[in-house]
Amino acid sequence: MSRIVVTGGAGRLGRSVVTQLAEHGHDVVSLDRELASDLRATQIEVDLLDAEQTREVLVRERPDAVVHLAAIAVPGALPDPEIFRINTQLVWSVLDGALAAQTGALLLASSPTVMGYGAPSGWEPRYLPLDEDHPTAPWNGYAASKVAMEEIVRMAVRQHGDTTRFGIFRPCYVIAPQEWDGAVTQQGHTVAERIADPTLSAVALFNYVDARDAGDFVATWIARAHEAPNGSTFFVGAPDALVEGATADAVRTHLPALASHAGDLAGHESVFSSARAERLLGWRATRLWRDHLTRQTVPQEATP
């Protein structure tokens, strides 16, 4: 058993990460400015923008690993300069505290939005499926803060070598367990509504991941981070696309700018490849929407 600090443990993704880490037998501490009910963690209320307080708490807790999720997590929730400032300041604060506490491993949540899809001036991928080697092209303050975070992590690897293991994961659109049963998702629609109206998911290239699978990824990374190059980035998504029918057909219909590469997507394959996580860490998402969306919420035409 290890002692793991999760920042933002009270959040949407944080709750599942905390649960999965507890399931794996870890002793979990959540640092958040909000307290959640029924969280399987010791909860400490802290404003992580306060670097001094963050350092104090982390040095006191002496975790074996830190998972940094706390952020302004929705593009456009605040003006671009504010989101960029807050999210990068949170990274500096947690990085400083984790290093002061001599933490062995620090995993940080980035986002697939770093790719740049949805840019008002247009966006075309170089190839599909997208992988971690594809160039980033952020077009809003949120995505820019995630690219900055990824660079800060690479900087830290150069500064500290292998004394600390660093990792970055880009979780796809997180679907919490209750959302399969009809609770609204982060963007205010149910999953069934997203399936019924593909334009809702097309804006994020039909990506998704069950929050428990994302939590399992975190537990897997903590166990096996030493097997991957330090500072590695991972897409963490379901292997299939959140849309009915063949992904290539959905891409041709709803994402014409990507159509020239659609033929490279097989069957229900996701537009985002999580193959690196499988190759280097042995992790693969197992909870697929076709198995988990409860029958009564499936739109009429999708029921057998």
Stretch in the footprint of ligand NAD (CB under 6 A) among 44-52, 225-233, 251-259, 260-268: 44-52
Stretch in the footprint of ligand NAD (CB under 6 A) among 59-67, 68-76, 216-224, 287-295: 68-76
Note whether 184 binds ligand NAD by CB under 6 A: no
Note whether 69 binds ligand NAD by CB under 6 A: yes
Q: Which is nearer to ligand NAD, 107 or 293 (CB)?
A: 107
Fill in the per-residue mask, 132 to 161: x = in contact with ligand NAD (CB under 6 A), - = not in contact: ------------------------------
Contacts 24+ apart (CB under 8 A), 176-183: 176/12, 176/15, 176/16, 176/211, 177/16, 177/210, 177/211, 177/212, 180/289, 180/292, 180/293, 180/294, 180/297, 181/294, 181/297, 182/294, 182/296, 182/297
Considering only 97, 125, 138, 171, the residue that binds ligand NAD (CB under 6 A) is 171
In the region spanning residues 91 to 110, those forming contacts with ligand NAD, defined by CB under 6 A, are 109
The single residue listed with the structure tokens 């690993």 is: 65
Stretch in the footprint of ligand NAD (CB under 6 A) among 46-54, 238-246, 257-265, 271-279: 46-54
Helices 211-224 and 12-23: crossing angle, nearest 10°? 50
Number of residues binding to ligand NAD, judged by CB under 6 A: 22
Note whether 186 binds ligand NAD by CB under 6 A: yes
Considering only 174, 191, 251, 285, the residue that binds ligand NAD (CB under 6 A) is 174
Task: For residues 210 and 171, give the distance between their C-alpha atoms in angstroms, rounded to a whole number.
Answer: 10
List C-alpha distances in Å: 108 to 98, 192, 219, 245, 268. Answer: 12, 30, 13, 34, 29
Structure tokens at 186: 């982060």
